[in-house]
Amino acid sequence: MTIFCSILNSEDSSVYSLISLDNRSRNANEDNLADDDIKVELAPITVQLAHVRQLLGHTQEAIEAYTDIIKRNLADESSLAMASNNLVSFKGLKDVSDNLKKLDRLIEKGSGPQIFQLARGLDLKLSPKQREAIYANRVLLLLHSNRINQARELVGALPDMFPDSVMPVLLQAAVLVRENKAGRAEEILGQFSEKFLDKSKVVLLARAQVAAGAGHPQVEAESL
């Protein structure tokens, strides 16, 4: 099963979000801002509330909120990026081509030592977890659209971009499995788990799943 990554602006609490939305709305009205300016001011909390609704299973409300933010194009860059990514994470493999287009607008080739970067200065506006979720979702969509070379290129850049995360090695393994190289995927996951013992649990679980799918019962048993 493919799991896509959604991102949240800050605290994952509907009560906090509602209070923040009310406060910011009141402040915006007191400042006599135009309607469009108010929408921009409230966009971060609107995205946050949509994410909470998504987690609570209020799917249609979340979809409508994300879609409205994207279509109106009145939010700040980081809120638009989060709305686009969260909509992609919700839709998953539905309409892969459209989802890829949404994320392609957020990622571009870097001009310096970093091969990839986020567009419109988003690297400075989003947290590492938020940036990582965007890249991870793009890799998964590339794999499901059979754009293996592009997925491999992007995955190859992720360890340097997110050195403290397990996500890069998990995505590397996913690419290898798609290339029918399950043995190599098991190998890199095993090496990572030995090198980073504090992060080995999720990596070994992934290794066991790869081994089970490849019909390698001994590796599967060793990983559990």
Place of tokens 């409300």: 61
- pLDDT at site 57: 82
The confidence score (pLDDT) of residue 95 equals 81
CA distances from 139 to 4, 144, 156, 190, 200 (A): 10, 9, 11, 22, 22
What's the pLDDT score for residue 27? 47
- Tokens at 36, concatenated: 């469009």
Domain spans of the chain, in order of start: 166-224
Alpha helices (runs of H) in 73-115, residue ranges in sequence order: 77-91, 96-104
pLDDT tens for the chain, 224 residues long, are 455 666 554 344 444 334 344 444 444 444 544 455 556 667 777 888 887 887 788 888 888 888 888 888 766 888 889 888 888 887 777 788 888 898 999 999 877 677 899 998 899 988 999 999 999 999 999 998 999 999 999 999 999 999 999 999 999 999 999 999 999 999 999 999 999 999 999 999 999 999 999 999 999 999 98
43-63 exposure pattern, b = at least 16 Cβ within 10 A, e = fewer: bbbbbbbbbbbbeeeeeeebb
pLDDT of residue 77: 86
* Size of the chain in residues: 224
